[in-house]
Amino acid sequence: MKLIAVSCLLMFNIMFGRAINPIPQKWEIKKYGNTILINAGILEQKLNCLGQEFSSQLFVDGNRLNEENTGEIQVTFRKALPNTEPEGIAYSSESGVEQADAVKNQTDALSVKKKQNTMEQVVQWTDSICISKENFGRVFNKSSSQISEPEKGTRLVTISYTSELIMAGVSLEINYEIYTGYPAIRKWVKFYNRGSQWLKISDLMLEKLNLSNKYAHNTLLTPNSRNIDPSIMAFSDATASAGIISASEIPSRLRHLSIDGTSGYNSDFFEWVLGPGESFRSEPVFIFAFSGASYPTVSAVSTALDRCVESGFHTFMNRHILRPVSQRKSIAPVFCTWTNYSAAINDSNMHVAADLASRIGFKCFQLDAGWSDTGPKGGWAVTTPKPNLQNFKDLSGLSKYIRSENMKTGLWFSVFINELEVDRNMKGPGLYSLPLIRRAGGLGLSFCYAKSREKYVNEIVYLHKTYLVDYFKQDLSNVCYGDIARGHESRTLKESYLRGLRGLLATQDEIHRQAPDVWLQLSHEIYWETPGPEADIAVLQHVDSYHSAPNEYWGAGNRSKPVTPSWKYNVDSLKQKLIQGAFRARNLLYAHRGLPLDRVEVFGAVTTNFNGSLTPEIQDRQICSWLAGAPISFSGDLGSLTAANIQCYSDRFKMLDNLQQKYGIYAEFQFSGVPVPTDEGWNWWGKLNDQGCGAVVVLRGSAGADMQKVNIPWVKSKKIYQLKGMLSHKDLGTYSGNQLIDGKLALSLSPFGQEIIQVSLKSATPVKQ
């Protein structure tokens, strides 16, 4: 263990911006009487766990972060009256939810009518008891602990508690896991009901940091929007030089992560019924420490927090938390048919679009809504595993044509099944949620029922095998409305939210198991509502990419119709909207910087040209803006593009593919020590590998100086680099790493200009002075 810790020290200090410390950091868990000490490098937690009070203290680099001992868990129990399992509701043709399409401020929205549910359950919940730091030891009066090594490089302590009096038959496990080389502590709990009483748990909080004022400054590393909490938030001192990153693996709207450091479940949407002999395991949460100097650069301030996020934190996430994605499944760049085509697609116009997409250089061509047979009286929102034979007489032939053009075939897939084809006389529960969720002749499929999940998985795998489909966009809202159908797994409406999300994510795991080469994308709509959540940790543990909210169509004109000469749009206005769309995309991607941005889809770069609205300069701005992540979201009327548009996209995608093949730029994103996204002055970011090679993307807004010193802090100081402007085709010269770090590179751009700088290693030669 000592050898492992010492060998990780250099890597640790480099990743977290710390000076080399002669005392090796430790990764170990030890028990001292009533105290358990967890050491994870610079992160240390002392658990006072075997007495009347269960609390902890938190330290980073020896400095205490919380003013007082913090409670490690809070939960409320209630008893069922009568003492029996809650029963779901029987089928009724009456809708619980009616959905209709809507558009608001260039964004897809949803008009929802909810009917009052008068079908109350018989079971009531009484005798609530809230368990917190103060009364924990009185409720759970018997405890033990075990330290283990689940796998090489990890340490785990499991602290077990049993209630023999107040909550007789209830026991609890609290788990803390550390990973050699990373200043991280991951935590989850598991409840057991070994008694005869039916119980319900709610108000479950897994972490209450109670940080001192010094470390109470917070920074969002994923967005906080639409009343859905972020999944990653940092807490630090005023200069962001020391603190912790708090991260939650709880999915979607079920997550609570607040600016006071409390992490757990959203009490408005979470509860769990715990019957005799049943257990409940929570999703994990974790903290990750950082410490180092924050200092000015020639253009901004480089903080220890930013350097940690773009290096050590991302490495930890990719190695231990998120689902790995194989490079052989690469799909970028992706074209989606939704914008300007809507559901009005057919074999003829898709052959034309596929031909254009291939000439442009797209690697994946995704057919959106409209390809599927929706059944009797079914609207566009319904999908079946059968093609719409009226519009697609030979879907296999179209897919083969797409593949012959060196693209992967993608399909849109919905959670709505045809209402008239549902067998309500089948033995056992129905496949749909209750109360009924209706949209365009369809019923919402339940993810709280094994047979429904099996149907969903089987149909996607069938489409993959039958039509050679390698990419699926999964869409529309269902889970957020709940499901208490009799015979389904959820016993209360509120319990169904987490069961539904877990069921949805479980289908992704099973599809991946049966069809490992398939790329699975979930939309924000299927992950909750329309518009829905931004990307989070939980979803990227199960899918390859996530379509973040909202859907936007800036500059697309009539976004549901192809371009026609009769359009009355102002060309200059469309140009401004296209530029605005590009800025909004890179701003939203930056807001997700705690996650791997190449797996976050921001919809979408509009490929629509009306009377010259889409200029080559705007195309370049799209390419640069979406390159904060990867070019996985382009959509629009390809038939409206000029030969110059097609050639521009083609040239740029070839350039990106070359950079990706050489340096793996899509998976990289460096942002420390440089300006944040803006459409006024200058801003830039890195897409560099561990040798400092790759691309630097530079944009100028409406203002700023004509010439800007561009520092590149992420190169190796002792290396020599050759720089080339990939858009301007200019040789920008040879520089040492130190010169690039110090901002010796000066770049000139016009207002709303942009450049992609290739950074490559060069053998020792004279460099610019």
Over residues 457-515, the pLDDT tens digits come to 999 999 999 999 999 999 999 999 999 999 999 999 999 999 999 999 999 999 999 99
Question: pLDDT tens for residues 419-470?
Answer: 988 866 556 789 999 999 999 889 999 999 999 999 999 999 999 999 999 9
Identify the band that residue 109 occupies on the pLDDT scale cut at 50, 70 and 90: low
Question: pLDDT tens for residues 605-657?
Answer: 999 999 999 999 999 999 999 999 999 999 999 999 999 999 999 999 999 99
pLDDT averaged over every residue in the chain: 93
Q: At 129, phi and psi to the nearest 5?
A: -135, 125
More confident residue, 561 or 122: 561
pLDDT of residue 104: 58
3-state secondary structure of 540: helix
- Pairing mode of beta strands 442-444, 436-439: antiparallel
pLDDT of residue 22: 43
Q: Which residues pair with 200 in a beta bridge?
A: 78, 273
The DSSP result for 324-390, as a single string, is P--GGG---SEEES-TTTTT---HHHHHHHHHHHHHHT-SEEEE-TTSB---TT--TTB--SSB-TT
pLDDT of residue 134: 84
Q: At 663, phi and psi to the nearest 5?
A: -125, -10
Q: Please tell me the distance from the alpha carbon of residue 590 to that of residue 448, in angstroms, as a whole number.
A: 34
State percent of the chain over pLDDT 70: 92
669 to 1, 11, 685, 741: CA distances (angstroms): 33, 19, 7, 16
Mean pLDDT of 761-766: 68
- Tell me: pLDDT of 323 over 60: yes
- Tell me: pLDDT of 352 over 60: yes
- Tell me: pLDDT of 2 over 50: no
9-13, 14-18, 563-567: segment of lowest average pLDDT: 9-13
Mean pLDDT of 41-67: 89
Which amino acid type is present at position 408? K
Of the CA atoms within 13 Å of residue 579, those in its CB half-sphere come to: 22
pLDDT of residue 522: 98
In the structure encoding, which two tokens stand for residue 752, read together? Answer: 């709303």
Decide: 175 and 145 in contact? Cβ < 8 Å.
Answer: no
Q: Which residues pair with 107 in a beta bridge?
A: 104, 552
| Closest listed residue to residue 245, CA positions, set 22, 68, 524, 40 | 40
In the structure encoding, which two tokens stand for residue 438, read together? Answer: 């209706």
Which amino acid type is present at position 552? E
Q: Please tell me the distance from the alpha carbon of residue 747 to that of residue 706, in angstroms, as a whole number.
A: 8
Mean pLDDT of 697-704: 97
Mean pLDDT of 234-257: 98
More confident residue, 72 or 221: 221
Decide: 485 and 88 in contact? Cβ < 8 Å.
Answer: yes
- Tell me: pLDDT of 337 over 90: yes
Which pTM does this prediction carry? 0.94
- Tell me: pLDDT of 673 over 60: yes
Identify the band that residue 14 occupies on the pLDDT scale cut at 50, 70 and 90: very low
Decide: 631 and 656 in contact? Cβ < 8 Å.
Answer: yes
Decide: 49 and 143 in contact? Cβ < 8 Å.
Answer: yes
CA angle 88, 93, 96 (to 5 degrees): 65
DSSP type of residue 726: T
pLDDT of residue 540: 98
pLDDT of residue 92: 79
pLDDT of residue 427: 64
pLDDT of residue 765: 52
- Tell me: pLDDT of 20 over 60: no
Question: pLDDT tens for residues 84-98?
Answer: 999 999 887 776 777
- Following CA atoms 511, 516, 519, 524 in sequence, which dihedral angle do they give, to the nearest 10 degrees? 30
Mean pLDDT of 546-567: 96
Question: pLDDT tens for residues 584-593?
Answer: 999 999 999 9
Decide: 608 and 563 in contact? Cβ < 8 Å.
Answer: yes
Identify the band that residue 121 occupies on the pLDDT scale cut at 50, 70 and 90: confident
